[in-house]
């Protein structure tokens, strides 16, 4: 199909227009990153050509030495970044430079806060790439010819970064892409060769292709020389790579503007040979919870780029990890389908997973503040790992952080080891309680007896916690116990009285309450949990927890009906009044009020709020009338 000839004026996608304005405003204080982004794009284009040329060598035959060129024209006020990589066709230029073909774009834009620093981080996560040129340029021109097309098939794209761009056939051009920035009057500093050389060394020294910079000679002419080391950073020895180089490589790899929290560089030799360089970002991507979002490592085979987002090398719960895997053993023609069938991949996946988990364990021990930052961003994904990854379960349990009844805020900053270091003598359980939110769970009546006895309780209030608790078996020989389910087991010496014995003592009252509630409860017990509250509801050990049940029902799942266990505080004045009530109607009304209050305290929705209000109004009137007659 022949490409359309002539000049076309087209409008940017709405999201592109929004992003351009936000980006130019938010990133201006860090404007020099435009050069890093454009060189990074050029490097990606060269990588892609080298990969395509594995099956079609003629694509690279006319100009086999891949490189990136940077040149400036002070008189014209222009800066050009050129590559001889894969290039783009007319349709690809329109798609790549006029639209954002990425899911979640609208949600991303909604997260913009107006805080330049926070917005800059968000934009960095999104990957602004080419559009960063408009931070310093008031007009950008792109000329590109796709590898394999004739020299007459070059295309020119041009825009001032406002609402539209033009595209037209260009004069014949070499293979690859040239981006020419017509710099703003106050951005002429980026025409100085010394400034450009410093920026290339700072941001792009790790680029695996030569970055050639055109410089003026003393004689008034120009000469061209490579500025960067042009060696893939991960192929170098760890002792030869500085921390700054690792940080800049991460920013190139992840299109991020912040330093990584940690990284691990490792070379495996023997039965399987590969190099890995893995990074932990400092902030969660905006699409962390979008299961369709791109994720995975950048895969190379024998230093040849194969694919982005190779998700087969790490489990889903580590989807935030960025990095590179360079294998010696995999075939150069490997595909995503072949990766799924490769017998060596399971071993590589297990080893890389252990490396990330060990890296996090080291971070947790060496820098509690950095790890606290990591947990705020990615803690919920580590909880996914507790559910999914039994092989590393013990190490993942050590990474968990919680708020507890002894925490001063809802910050999850206490490890299980911290908890056990404060355990009471004879305590053989790790107590926890699940709730819909921190305020709800910390004020739960289920905690009253444990607080009075000085027993600490883990407070679980993340959305994922109702699923996690079923995978909390034991830690360092201590079993986990949900204080909101089943019979509460306190340390030896505190729980000698059995539930049956204490129920027998108040059997008639318990049975009368149960009958009054018309089978809304499984049974009624005298509580060993409560101190200040009149009642609470408890879930049977065999039933789903109330939080998980509500979440499943909200998603449309039909679940078998279950009834809670009502526990009453036999010493509470309200229960004392209930036991003294001789009028059966008023006894029934008050029993329902006690149950409704217990349900509300644990976050449940009442089946009939209007009926509850009627009962409460009547109860208050009865109390007032009783006081008036005394």
pLDDT one-digit tens code per residue, 202-213: 888 888 899 999
Give the pLDDT score at 54: 87
Cα separation of 358 and 278, whole Å?
12
Give the pLDDT score at 340: 75
* pLDDT reading at 119 higher than 60: no
pLDDT digits (tens, 9 = 90+) for 364-382: 999 999 999 999 999 999 9
* pLDDT reading at 485 higher than 90: no
Give the pLDDT score at 2: 44
Which of 62-71, 137-146, 558-567 has the least mean pLDDT? 558-567
Cα separation of 4 and 149, whole Å?
15
Give the pLDDT score at 108: 59
Give the pLDDT score at 348: 92
Give the pLDDT score at 3: 42
Mean predicted confidence (pLDDT) in 602-620 = 89
Give the pLDDT score at 500: 82
* pLDDT reading at 628 higher than 90: no
- Residue with tokens 């895969």, as numbered in its chain: 299
Cα dihedral sign, 407-410-412-413: negative
CA–CA distances in Å: residue 337 to residues 33, 312, 317, 345: 36, 10, 21, 12
- 88, 146 in Cβ contact below 8 A? yes
Tell which wins on pLDDT, 37 or 282.
282
Residue 401: band (very low, low, confident or very high) from pLDDT cuts 50, 70, 90: very high
Residue 252: band (very low, low, confident or very high) from pLDDT cuts 50, 70, 90: confident
Mean predicted confidence (pLDDT) in 579-605 = 91
Residue (of 486, 482, 574, 497) closest to 523 by Cα position: 486
DSSP E strand stretches across 92-163 = 137-145, 155-159
Give the pLDDT score at 109: 62
Residue (of 320, 314, 323, 322) closest to 346 by Cα position: 314
What the chain holds in terms of domains, given with CATH numbers, is: 8-230 (3.30.565.10), 234-364 (3.30.230.80), 401-491 (3.40.50.11260), 507-629 (1.20.120.790)
Give the pLDDT score at 415: 96
- 3, 156 in Cβ contact below 8 A? no
pLDDT digits (tens, 9 = 90+) for 334-345: 777 777 777 778
Q: State phi, psi for 145 to the nearest 5 degrees.
A: -130, 125
DSSP sequence for 545-614:
PHHHHHHHHHTT-------PEEEE-TTSHHHHHHHH---HHHHHHHHHHHHHHHHHHTTPPPS-HHHHHH
End-to-end Cα spacing for the chain: 98
Residue 390: band (very low, low, confident or very high) from pLDDT cuts 50, 70, 90: very high
Retrieve residue 490's tokens: 């306190």
Greatest Cα-to-Cα distance within the chain, rounded to the nearest angstrom: 112
Give the pLDDT score at 1: 40
Give the pLDDT score at 477: 92
Cα separation of 462 and 464, whole Å?
5
**H/E stretch holding 567:** strand 565-568
Residue (of 182, 180, 212) closest to 196 by Cα position: 212
Cα separation of 35 and 549, whole Å?
52
* pLDDT reading at 619 higher than 90: no
Mean predicted confidence (pLDDT) in 378-395 = 95
What pTM was estimated for this model as a whole? 0.80
Q: State phi, psi for 485 to the nearest 5 degrees.
A: -135, 145
% of the chain exceeding 90 in pLDDT:
55
Q: State phi, psi for 538 to the nearest 5 degrees.
A: -130, 140
Give the pLDDT score at 111: 62
Give the pLDDT score at 33: 83
- 45, 63 in Cβ contact below 8 A? no
Tell which wins on pLDDT, 320 or 118.
320
Residue (of 286, 284, 268, 285) closest to 276 by Cα position: 268
pLDDT digits (tens, 9 = 90+) for 121-166: 555 455 567 888 998 999 999 999 999 988 788 999 999 988 899 9
Give the pLDDT score at 113: 55
Give the pLDDT score at 343: 77
pLDDT digits (tens, 9 = 90+) for 75-86: 999 999 999 999
Residue (of 413, 410, 451, 411) closest to 431 by Cα position: 451
* pLDDT reading at 184 higher than 50: yes
Give the distance from CA 229 to its chain's centroid: 33
| Mean pLDDT of the residues in the chain | 87
* pLDDT reading at 350 higher than 50: yes
Mean predicted confidence (pLDDT) in 494-507 = 76
Give the pLDDT score at 107: 58
* pLDDT reading at 543 higher than 80: no
């Amino acid at each position: 199909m022949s490409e359309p000839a002539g000049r076309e004026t087209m409008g940017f996608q709405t999201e592109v227009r929004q992003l351009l304005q936000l980006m130019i405003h938010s990133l201006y204080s860090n404007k020099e990153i435009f050069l890093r982004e454009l060189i990074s794009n050029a490097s990606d284009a060269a990588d892609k050509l080298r990969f395509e040329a594995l099956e079609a060598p003629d694509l690279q035959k006319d100009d086999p030495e891949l490189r990136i060129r940077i040149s400036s024209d002070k008189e014209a006020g222009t800066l050009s970044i050129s590559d001889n990589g894969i290039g783009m066709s007319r349709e690809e230029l329109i798609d790549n430079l006029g639209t954002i073909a990425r899911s979640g774009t609208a949600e991303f834009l909604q997260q913009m806060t107006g805080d330049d620093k926070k917005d800059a981080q968000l934009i960095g996560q999104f990957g602004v790439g080419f559009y960063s040129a408009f931070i310093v340029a008031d007009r950008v021109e792109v000329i590109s010819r796709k590898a394999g097309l004739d020299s007459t098939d070059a295309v020119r794209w041009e825009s001032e970064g406002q609402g539209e761009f033009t595209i037209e056939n260009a004069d014949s051009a070499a293979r690859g892409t040239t981006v020419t920035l017509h710099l703003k009057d106050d951005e002429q500093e980026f025409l100085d060769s010394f400034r450009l050389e410093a920026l290339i060394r700072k941001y792009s020294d790790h680029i695996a292709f030569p970055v050639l910079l055109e410089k003026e000679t003393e004689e008034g002419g120009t000469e061209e020389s490579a500025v960067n080391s042009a060696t893939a950073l991960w192929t170098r020895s760890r002792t030869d790579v500085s921390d700054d180089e690792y940080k800049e490589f991460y920013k190139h790899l992840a299109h991020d503007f912040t330093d990584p929290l940690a990284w691990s560089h490792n070379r495996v030799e023997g039965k399987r040979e590969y190099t890995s360089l893995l990074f932990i970002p400092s902030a969660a991507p905006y699409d962390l919870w979008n299961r369709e979002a791109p994720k995975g490592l950048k895969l190379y085979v024998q230093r040849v780029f194969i694919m982005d987002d190779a998700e087969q090398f790490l489990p889903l719960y580590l989807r935030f990890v960025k990095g590179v895997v360079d294998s010696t053993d995999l075939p150069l023609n490997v595909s995503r389908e072949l990766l799924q069938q490769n017998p060596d991949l399971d071993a590589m996946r297990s080893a890389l997973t252990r490396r990330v988990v060990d890296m996090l364990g080291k971070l947790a021990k060496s820098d509690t503040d950095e790890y606290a930052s990591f947990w705020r961003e990615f803690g919920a994904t580590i909880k996914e790992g507790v559910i999914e990854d039994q092989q590393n379960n013990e190490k993942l349990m050590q990474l968990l952080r919680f708020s507890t009844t002894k925490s001063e805020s809802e910050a999850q900053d206490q490890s299980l080891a911290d908890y056990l270091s404060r355990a009471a003598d004879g305590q053989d359980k790790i107590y926890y309680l699940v709730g819909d939110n921190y305020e709800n769970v910390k004020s739960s009546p289920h905690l009253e007896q444990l607080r009075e006895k000085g027993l600490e309780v883990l407070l679980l209030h993340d959305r994922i916690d109702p699923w996690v608790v079923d995978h909390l078996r034991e830690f360092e020989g201590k079993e986990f116990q949900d204080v909101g389910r089943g019979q509460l087991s306190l340390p030896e010496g505190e729980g000698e009285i059995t539930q049956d014995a204490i129920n027998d003592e108040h059997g008639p009252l318990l049975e009368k309450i149960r009958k009054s509630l018309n089978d809304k409860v499984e049974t009624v017990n005298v509580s060993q949990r409560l101190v200040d509250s009149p009642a609470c509801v408890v879930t049977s050990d065999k039933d789903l927890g109330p939080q998980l049940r509500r979440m499943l029902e909200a998603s449309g799942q039909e679940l078998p009906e279950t009834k809670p266990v009502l526990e009453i505080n036999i010493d509470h004045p309200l229960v004392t009044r209930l036991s003294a009530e001789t009028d059966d109607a008023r006894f029934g009304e008050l029993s329902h009020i006690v149950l409704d209050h217990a349900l509300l305290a644990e976050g449940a929705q009442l089946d009939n709020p209007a009926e509850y209000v009627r009962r409460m109004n009547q109860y208050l009137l009865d109390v007032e009338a009783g006081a008036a007659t005394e």
